[in-house]
Amino acid sequence: MKITFPHMGNLFIPLKVLFDILEIDYAVPSLSRCKFEEGIAHSPEFACLPFKITLGDLLDGIEQGADHILYGGGCGQCRFGYYADLHEAILKSAGYDVTMIRLDSSNMTFQELMGKLKPFTEGKSKARLVRGILSAVNTVLMADRLSKTAAWIRCREQQKGDTDKVMRRFNQRIIKAKGYKEIKQLIHSARKQLRSIPVDLEFKPLKVAIVGEIYTSIDPFVNMEMESKLGSLGVEVHNHLTISSWVIDHGIKKVLPLKLKNKAHERGKELFDTDDIGGHGLQTVGNAILSAQKGFDGVIHTYPFTCLPEIVAQCSFGEIQDQYGIPIMTLIIDELTGKAGYETRIEAFVDMLERRRQLELQKTMREAF
Amino acid sequence: MTKIGLPKALFYYQHSAVWEGFFRNLGCEVIVSGDTNKEILDRGVRCCSNDTCLPVKVFHGHVDILKGNVDYVFIPRYTCLINREYTCPKFCGLPEMTYLNLDKQVRLLEISLNVETGHMEAAKGLKTVSKSLDLDYRAAEEAFQNALRELEQGYKKCENSFGEPVAKERDRKRQTLAVLGHPYMIYDKYLSMKLLEKLRSRNISIVTPADLEYQTKRRHAVPYQEKVFWEVGLDNLGSAFVFAGSENIDGIIYLTPFACGVDSFVIEFIERRLKSDYTVPFLKLTVDEHTGEAGFDTRLEAFLDMIG
């Protein structure tokens, strides 16, 4: 029995830790997405990009010998909830014999969840299970902290490209690493290396927030390394959606009896008088407003072509720009997006933000003297 | 008398009678925008972002046309009309979407419909309605309860206001085609490029999901029989397999707007299962605001020639 799973940002790191501790055999799809084209060929034309990419991941994992697929998902108004079923149907008609283990966080009790995972947890002590889950959660927090550190250093580094070099080496090693200890060690050493990069502390970078659909905003392959592109232009990037926040929102908060509310989600209701517009739609709106209030210079909104909730969220940006005076640019990505045109738009946006900041500076200077 | 505008798009094709009745009961004059035409489409395209789907763009056009002639435009917010069946996210944000896209130049009335919370959210909308129309809140609530009952009954009985009755026995002289798609696509003559009329003029009888009973459709909606799914998706998914299994149906046509999120998944489920388990011919017709009618007709004619 070998298990595989689709990529989603750095989710593979905690999953590796979990499977290693539980001694489950697994296959990690390649980070370069070698089955990307094949995934697209099997997908419906108007499915959103994450669907096509994750299908490619599964094909990759199956080729590496996996016969079980672990899939997260939820119900609701976004197509993500139906990914697993359609993937299953497509894989079946393409002639692959695999078992889907579908974890539906919004529709399942804890007992049902454990029931589905039984083939993997059988014969393993509870202590080991708890240790596995806790280590995985700890790893995801560490991995997200590492990307945060990288984002802070990347825009301030004196030698351009240093941070990306460290992160690239880290990604190459982490995919081969085995066991909690080694992975922890790798994260620590990457952190150390990042901290030793000489930085210009005087430099005042522009601050840009990335909001939008979670898969495109956190996966560097999908968003064509937007974070490192922005960082190399001297922009401090804040990504409000991370795997750890996703795990906390959909896993931990669901288990706890308390009803904790997401701040950005609540804020989004300022413009949308409803509880849900599907996916992370309301969080997108809320995060854009919060970024403006926190004094960010700009917001980049990104989503895959045909994403339902984000199209609704996008309508509110004209209003947010007027009301809060923050520039927002929307980047829509699909499998045909050309990298050059995409980067030109990012560069133009950053240039505009820089000019805007200088004009404002001149204005305050004139008023002061 | 207060004039209430009802855009003839999206929900109108299923629930027009319910909402017209609701406002008439409250003593308002109801004005329905006309059939979709080029001007309405162009107006809608102008105020929406590019990748908004065609029916929503058209909806914006209808509201834009209405806004000058009425006191309020009514847009219900459908979240969940039947337990465990949801609408597309655009329906949940439709009132704000329209309001913001039209530069806040329109006065809206909005009522939320969500069965799962027992229509708790509707109270707020009803308060605004009763205040704007200068009515007692109780009267508004009573009219709303009546409207809900009608909505519910509409789902239980087989609604057949547009299609023709399903042929009980195979009519040897006439072909029968099933036309699937969102009601606001297949019954809108402009968006569907008069698909139904074109078929009828060739002496072909037509059946649509509206000809089947609610329970029948749900029972056949593989793989979502007991599970959570989109309401309109379940209708089409279930109908496709009912029609495919019937001897009276010669072919199935699915009319879909460009880049529809719900359809992209539903059609894939249908196509894969039709290919493996059934023999009925299937045609997918995609339309958007640039589709030329000639190309559309050619595809349709080729399909009709094929089924003979």
State percent of chain A over pLDDT 70: 95
For residue A69, CA distances in Å to A48, A58, A79, B164 come to 20, 8, 19, 46
Interface mutation target, options A274, A310, A316, A320, chain B, most CBs of B under 10 Å: A274
| Range from A37-41, A50-54, A144-148, A335-339 carrying the lowest mean pLDDT | A335-339
Using a CB-CB cut-off of 8 Å, the residues of chain B touching A328 are none
| Range from A22-31, A72-81, A243-252, B33-42 carrying the lowest mean pLDDT | A72-81
Q: Is B156 on the interface with A (CB under 8 A)?
A: no
Beta bridge partners of B207: B178
Widest distance between CA atoms in chain A:
76
CA distance A357 to B123: 46
User: What is the residue-wise DSSP string for A3-30?
Assistant: EE----TTTHHHHHHHHHHTT-EEEPPP
- Note the pTM of the prediction, 2 decimals: 0.91
CB spacing of B93 vs A312 below 8 angstroms:
yes
- Name the packing angle between helices A12-21 and A179-195 (round to 10°): 150
Confidence band for B162, pLDDT divided at 50, 70 and 90: very low
How far is B100 from chain A, CA to nearest CA, in Å?
6
CB spacing of B92 vs A314 below 8 angstroms:
no
Mean confidence (pLDDT) of chain A: 89
Interface mutation target, options B59, B97, B128, chain A, most CBs of A under 10 Å: B97
Strands B85-86 and B77-80 come out as unpaired
Cβ B178 vs Cβ B250: under 8 Å: no
What pLDDT sits at residue B161? Answer: 41
Cβ A86 vs Cβ B265: under 8 Å: yes
- H or E stretch at B285: strand B282-287
Q: Which residues contact B59 (CB under 8 A, 6 or more apart)?
A: B7, B9, B10, B44, B94, B98
Q: Which residues contact A327 (CB under 8 A, 6 or more apart)?
A: A297, A298, A299, A321, A349, A352, A353, A356
What pLDDT sits at residue B160? Answer: 46
Using a CB-CB cut-off of 8 Å, the residues of chain B touching A77 are 86-89, 92, 230
Amino acid identity for residue B232 in this structure = V
Using a CB-CB cut-off of 8 Å, the residues of chain B touching A81 are 228
| Range from A8-22, A263-277, B3-17, B179-193 carrying the lowest mean pLDDT | A263-277
Mean confidence (pLDDT) of chain B: 87
Using a CB-CB cut-off of 8 Å, the residues of chain B touching A333 are none
What pLDDT sits at residue B291? Answer: 78
How far is A259 from chain B, CA to nearest CA, in Å?
16
| Range from A74-88, A279-293, B202-216 carrying the lowest mean pLDDT | A74-88
Task: Using CA coordinates, name the residue in chain A closest to B101.
Answer: A315
Asked whether the predicted pLDDT for residue B12 surpasses 70, the reply is yes
Structure tokens at B54: 């065609």
What pLDDT sits at residue B163? Answer: 41
What pLDDT sits at residue A285? Answer: 94
CA distance A39 to A53: 6
CA distance A14 to A134: 10
How far is A320 from chain B, CA to nearest CA, in Å?
10
At residue B222, what are phi and psi to the nearest 5 degrees? Answer: -70, 135
Asked whether the predicted pLDDT for residue B274 surpasses 60, the reply is yes
Query: Rounded mean pLDDT of A146-155?
Result: 94
Q: Is A56 on the interface with B (CB under 8 A)?
A: no
- H or E stretch at B114: strand B112-114
Structure tokens at B67: 């806004």
Query: Rounded mean pLDDT of A74-78?
Result: 64
Q: Which of B88, B260, B276 sits opposite A77 (nearest CB)?
A: B88
CA distance A58 to A99: 12
Q: Which of A279, A305, A313 sits opposite B51 (nearest CB)?
A: A305
Using a CB-CB cut-off of 8 Å, the residues of chain A touching B275 are 93
Structure tokens at B190: 């402009």
DSSP designation for B303: H
Asked whether the predicted pLDDT for residue B20 surpasses 50, the reply is yes
State percent of chain B over pLDDT 90: 48
CA distance B169 to A153: 74
What tens digit of pLDDT does each residue of A179-215 get? 899 999 999 999 999 999 999 999 999 999 999 998 9
What pLDDT sits at residue B172? Answer: 59
Task: Using CA coordinates, name the residue in chain A closest to B125.
Answer: A273
What tens digit of pLDDT does each residue of A159-173 get? 999 999 999 999 999
Asked whether the predicted pLDDT for residue A304 surpasses 80, the reply is yes
Widest distance between CA atoms in chain B:
61
Cβ A56 vs Cβ A30: under 8 Å: no
Q: Is A8 on the interface with B (CB under 8 A)?
A: no
Q: Is B269 on the interface with A (CB under 8 A)?
A: yes
Residue A336 has a CB neighbour count (10 Å cut-off) of 8
- Residue A276: CA atoms inside 13 Å, Cβ hemisphere, count? 18
For residue B291, CA distances in Å to B42, B190, B260, B261 come to 14, 11, 15, 19
Query: Given its phi and psi angles, is residue B287 left (phi above 0), alpha (psi -120 to 50 degrees) or beta?
Result: beta
Query: Rounded mean pLDDT of B266-294?
Result: 92
Residue B300 has a CB neighbour count (10 Å cut-off) of 18
What pLDDT sits at residue A102? Answer: 83
Query: Rounded mean pLDDT of A123-141?
Result: 88
State CA B267 to chain mean position distance: 16
CA distance B224 to A58: 23
Query: Rounded mean pLDDT of B185-197?
Result: 93
What pLDDT sits at residue A366? Answer: 92
CA distance B17 to B2: 19
DSSP designation for A211: E
Asked whether the predicted pLDDT for residue B128 surpasses 90, the reply is no
CA distance A353 to B176: 61
CA distance A71 to A4: 9
Confidence band for A108, pLDDT divided at 50, 70 and 90: low
* ipTM at complex level: 0.89
What pLDDT sits at residue B165? Answer: 46
Using a CB-CB cut-off of 8 Å, the residues of chain A touching B101 are 315
CB spacing of B223 vs A89 below 8 angstroms:
yes
CA distance B26 to B36: 28
How far is B204 from chain A, CA to nearest CA, in Å?
30
- H or E stretch at B92: helix B89-92
Q: Is A322 on the interface with B (CB under 8 A)?
A: no
Beta bridge partners of B26: none
Query: Rounded mean pLDDT of A32-46?
Result: 92
| Range from A89-98, B58-67, B153-162 carrying the lowest mean pLDDT | B153-162
Residue contacts between A and B (CB atoms, under 8 Å): 111
Confidence band for A354, pLDDT divided at 50, 70 and 90: very high
